[in-house]
Amino acid sequence: MQTTQTRAPDAQAAAAPQPDLKAIKTRQQATWASGDFGVVGTTLQIVGESLCEAVDLHAGESVLDVAAGNGNASLAAARRFAEVMSTDYVPELLEQGRARAAGDRLPMQFKVADAEDLPFEADRFDVVLSTFGVMFAPNQEQAAAEMLRVVKSGGRIGMANWTPEGFLGELFRTIAAFVPPPAGLNSPMQWGTEPRLVQLFGTRAADIRCERRYFMFRYRSAEHFIEIFRNFYGPTHKVFAALDAENQEALHKRLTELLARFNRAGNKALVVPAEYLEVVITKR
């Protein structure tokens, strides 16, 4: 009888290098603190309003907004008379949220906090929200575990996450062709897929409901969009800053082509549908 020898895999090849999550998070924090995300963030307000309706938010419920940015979901929840704690790891964005809340005379609390290490006791909140925020945490499993830890049994987790097939997925793939993301990380766009959400939350979820929705980016033109995102949106701001003049021009061209492909307004303006997944998870 002929036998075959099976060679053990090379140890060095088998042991894939693990990403330095602490260093990656430090760079991410600097990215989101660069530019001025609030300029883009305020345009997304309608997503926070929709999410509060999706989780059927009740007046008087305790709400935690994770990776809140400048507070879209926080403000939406406060408008529904919830008791709101707005958190982010970029203090400047929380200050913008505080100013917006003061302008609308909405009472809420603010706290600098990391989505992967929330400084709250277990089972504290009735509802945990995140709009295009927690999905960017480098340690996805830890971020999901923290959201589950701080929400009460029977409570709801509501999220809005960009999908990989939608415009933001294409945008991030475009900029990654010029400045690749850190090796070894799961794409944040996976939070916009049902299978990944089941992996992250399924064992402790009584129910997971997902609905595909569209946010409309509305700008004067493709040039206007690129100007705003280049100056104010952290990921694109940082990528342009990292490139030489030739590659900046090449990226500008690629973004113009991408916007033309998605634009549904013709030559009159820019209207780009951006698909996202609206998620409501009920904890066991």
- Class of domain 35-217+274-283 (CATH, top level): alpha beta
Instruction: Specify the pLDDT at position 104.
Output: 98
Q: How many C-beta neighbours within 10 Å does residue 278 have? A: 20
Confidence grade of residue 19 (pLDDT, cut at 50, 70, 90): confident
CB 210 within 8 A of CB 277: yes
The sign of the dihedral angle between the CA atoms of 49, 44, 137, 162 is: positive
Among 32-36, 58-62, 224-228, the least confident range: 32-36
- In the predicted model, is pLDDT for residue 13 greater than 50? no
Q: Where are the beta strands (DSSP E) in 82-198?
A: 83-88, 109-112, 125-131, 151-162
- In the predicted model, is pLDDT for residue 26 greater than 80? yes
CB 55 within 8 A of CB 280: yes
The DSSP secondary-structure symbol of 114 reads: B
- In the predicted model, is pLDDT for residue 57 greater than 50? yes
pLDDT tens for 202-261 read: 999 999 999 999 999 999 999 999 999 999 999 999 999 999 999 999 999 999 999 999
Instruction: Specify the pLDDT at position 2.
Output: 38
d(CA 116, CA 137): 7
Structure pTM? Answer: 0.92
- In degrees, to the nearest 5, what angle opens at C-alpha 181 toward C-alphas 201 and 280? 20
d(CA 132, CA 94): 15
The DSSP secondary-structure symbol of 253 reads: H
The sign of the dihedral angle between the CA atoms of 134, 140, 142, 147 is: positive
Percentage, residues of the chain above pLDDT 70: 94
